[in-house]
């Protein structure tokens, strides 16, 4: 039986990273098989409902107002357009629709506008997810009442590396929001980005923070940085393929029942790389031509990949 742990020590996580690649992958894949159908992948589609002019200074992001990335700012989208996009995503096979906003935090007034979007998407029979920045406890309860299934809020990097990436909020702020979301009994989606100039120990530390949460995140997105011209991290050396795959494998071992999402960065990954990520324990992707502001593989390419690998798409679970 799989044991769920919340007491990982950094040395233990580093020891997993240090295993020979085949031993690490074998261990991760065995745990994956014990807990999931190894040939099933969940697909989520993303929509940026409010673009740009974000007051935060996240050094990787196209939407921060601190950097000139050439992105046009846009107001919060009208609900009809959002639901049209959700319908399109559903028709293409997505089971979850995730709406993102370039906010530090939502105001209560803006939250009131997002709620009918959540309800509209849910009424279509899709799972709902939003990522709106920091939340108060009260706002988390409001979202729960609205029927929200998942809240995405990434730790992004290790506590130790956090100040090199973002200075307008703290790692603790992120943990506080995750706590409010879990208190409200909303499923947590939280992960991070690789390629922020972090060391392997930072990756171990980030996964440790996720796995040592009182409850493991239900979903763990692992993003490969999409380099954005104009941001401080535009030219950072990316991790190697094996480093990225190792991180997925370690996440799978530490959080055996969480859905691990192979997230941003897939346009730069070939078939074999993605196949290795699925073997290592990834069982979800972002699906659809756009992430938030950058490109994602087109759906035909992803369908072909699934066919070649014999992968089935998971159905939406009833919430
Ligand atoms: N503003 C909210 C927040 O930061 O929580 C929600 C939207 S924000 C864009 C959602 C997540 O997208 C970030 O936490 C980060 O992990 C990811 N992200 C943003 N830009 C990225 C990039 N260039 N490459 C990879 N992941 C990125
Ligand atoms: C997550 O972990 N990755 C998604 C989603 N959660 C919101 C966002 C990826 C953004 C990639 C860069 C962009 O398109 O702007
Ligand atoms: Fe704003 Fe989120 Fe981008 Fe940070 S990651 S600048 S909070 S939109």
CA angle 309–314–319, rounded 5-degree value: 165
Q: Which of 207, 209, 140, 138 is nearest to 170 (CA)?
A: 209
Ligand nearest to the CA of 189: 2
The best mutation among 46, 222, 296 to test binding of ligand 2, ranked by most ligand atoms within 8 Å of the C-beta, falls on 46
pTM, entire model: 0.94
Locate the ligand 3 atom nearest the alpha carbon of residue 100 and give its number.
Answer: 8
Give the model's pLDDT for residue 314: 80
> Which has the closest alpha carbon to 252: 296, 222, 294, 214?
222
Which of 129, 174, 208, 246 is catalytic? The answer is 129
The secondary element (H helix, E strand) that includes residue 260 is strand 259-262
**pLDDT attached to residue 319:** 46
Q: Would you say the CB of residue 177 lies under 6 angstroms from ligand 3?
A: no
189 is catalytic: yes
Rounded Cα gap, residues 121 and 83, in angstroms: 6
Say if ligand 2 is within 6 A of residue 51 CB. Answer: no
Q: Which residues' Cβ are closer than 6 Å to ligand 1?
A: 60-61, 100, 102-103, 131, 133, 153-154, 156, 193, 223, 225-226, 228, 264, 292
> Closest-lying ligand to the alpha carbon of 64?
3
Ligand 3 centroid from CA 84, angstroms? 25
- List, run by run, the mean pLDDT of 10-residue segments along the chain (319 residues): 90 98 98 96 96 95 95 93 96 94 96 97 96 98 96 98 97 97 97 96 98 96 97 96 98 98 95 98 94 93 95 72
Pocket lining: 54 vs ligand 3, CB cutoff 6 Å: yes
* Atom 5, ligand 1: residue with shortest CA distance: 133
Give residue 167's pLDDT.
97
pLDDT in tens, 158-191: 999 999 999 999 999 999 999 999 999 999 999 9
Cα–ligand 2 centroid distance for 89 (angstroms): 16
Query: 196-234 as b/e, with b when 16 or more CB fall inside 10 Å?
Result: bebeeebbbbbbbbbbebeebbbbbbbbbbbbbeebbbe
Mutate to test the pocket of ligand 1, among 56, 58, 63 (most ligand atoms within 8 A of CB): 58
d(CA 78, CA 75): 9
Query: Which of 98, 133, 166, 223 most suits a substitution to test ligand 3, by most atoms within 8 Å of the C-beta?
Result: 133
Distance 138 CA to ligand 3 centre (A): 22
Task: Tell me, yes or no, if 277 is annotated catalytic.
Answer: no
pLDDT digits 0-9 by tens, 293-318: 999 999 999 999 999 999 998 876 64
Q: Give the pLDDT confidence score for residue 316 in this predicted structure.
A: 66
Q: Does the active-site annotation cover 129?
A: yes
Q: What is the pLDDT of residue 315?
A: 75
Residues paired with 188 in a beta bridge: 151
* H/E element, 258: none
d(CA 61, ligand 3 centre) in Å: 6
For residue 25, what are its two tokens?
């992958």
If you measure from the C-alpha of residue 133 to the centroid of ligand 3, how many angstroms do you get, rounded to a whole number? 8
Q: For residues 126 and 92, is the Cβ–Cβ distance under 8 A?
A: no
Q: Which protein residue has the closest C-alpha to ligand 1 atom 11?
A: 154
């Amino acid at each position: 039986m799989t044991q769920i742990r919340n007491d990982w020590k950094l040395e233990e996580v580093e020891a997993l990273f240090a295993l020979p690649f085949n031993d690490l992958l074998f261990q991760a894949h065995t745990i994956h098989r014990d807990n999931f159908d190894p040939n099933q992948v969940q697909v989520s589609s993303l929509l940026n409902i409010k673009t740009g002019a974000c007051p935060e200074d996240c050094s990787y992001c196209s939407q921060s107002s601190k950097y000139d990335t050439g992105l046009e700012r846009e107001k919060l989208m009208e609900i009809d357009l959002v639901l049209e996009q959700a319908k399109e995503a559903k028709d293409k096979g997505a089971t979850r629709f995730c709406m993102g906003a370039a906010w530090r935090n939502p105001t209560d007034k803006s939250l009131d506008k997002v709620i009918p979007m959540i309800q509209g998407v849910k009424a279509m029979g899709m799972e709902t997810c939003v990522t709106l920045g920091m939340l108060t406890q009260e706002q988390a309860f409001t979202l729960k009442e609205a029927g929200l299934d998942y809240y995405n809020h990434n730790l992004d990097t290790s506590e130790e590396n956090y100040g090199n990436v973002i200075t307008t909020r703290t790692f603790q702020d992120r943990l506080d929001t995750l706590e409010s979301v879990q208190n409200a009994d909303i499923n947590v989606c939280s992960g991070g980005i690789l390629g922020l100039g972090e060391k392997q120990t930072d990756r171990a530390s980030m996964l440790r923070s996720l796995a040592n949460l009182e409850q493991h995140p239900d979903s763990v997105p692992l993003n490969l940085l999409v380099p954005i011209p104009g941001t401080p991290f535009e030219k950072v050396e990316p991790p190697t393929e094996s480093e990225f795959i190792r991180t997925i494998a370690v996440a799978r071992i530490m959080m055996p029942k969480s859905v691990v999402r192979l997230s941003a960065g897939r346009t730069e990954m070939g078939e074999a790389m993605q196949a290795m990520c699925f073997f290592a324990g990834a069982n979800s992707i972002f699906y659809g031509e756009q992430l938030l502001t950058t490109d994602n593989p087109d759906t035909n390419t992803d369908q072909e990949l699934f066919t070649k690998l014999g992968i089935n798409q998971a159905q939406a679970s009833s919430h």
